[in-house]
Amino acid sequence: MIDLAMHMMDIVQNAIRAGAGRIGIYFVESNEKTMLLFRVTDDGSGMSEAGLEKVDDPFFTTRTTRRVGLGVPFLKMTCEQAGGFLKVLSAEGRGTTIEAVYRTDHPDCLPLGDIAGYLTLLLKANPAISFRFLYKLDESEFSLDSEALKAEGIALQQAEMLTTVRQYIRENLQALQRDRSAESYLC
Residue 183: inside a domain: no
Q: Which of 170, 79, 77 is nearest to 120 (CA)?
A: 170
**Count of structural domains, the chain:** 1
Within a domain: 95: yes
48: in domain: yes
Rounded distance between C-alpha atoms, residue 44 and residue 34, angstroms: 32
* Domain assignment present for 186: no
On whether residue 187 sits in a domain, the answer given is no
Residue 185 lies in a domain: no
Question: What local confidence, expressed as pLDDT, does residue 62 receive?
Answer: 53
182 domain-assigned = no
Regions of the chain short of the pLDDT cut 50:
63, 66-69
pTM: 0.90
Residue 17 domain boundaries: 4-177
In a domain, 81, yes or no: yes
Q: What is the mean pLDDT of the chain?
A: 89
116: left (phi over 0), alpha (psi -120 to 50) or beta: alpha
The pLDDT of residue 67 is 41
Q: What confidence score (pLDDT) does residue 60 get?
A: 53
> Residue 72's pLDDT is what?
87
* pLDDT computed for residue 36 by the predictor: 97
Instruction: Return the axis-axis angle of helices 159-177 and 115-125, rounded to nearest 10°.
Output: 150
CA dihedral 117, 119, 125, 128 (to 10 degrees): -160
Query: What was the pLDDT predicted at 71?
Result: 78
> Which pLDDT belongs to residue 63?
47
Which domain CATH number covers 121?
3.30.565.10
- What amino acid is encoded at 60 in this protein? F
Beta strand residue intervals within the chain, DSSP E:
22-30, 35-42, 85-91, 95-103, 130-137, 140-145
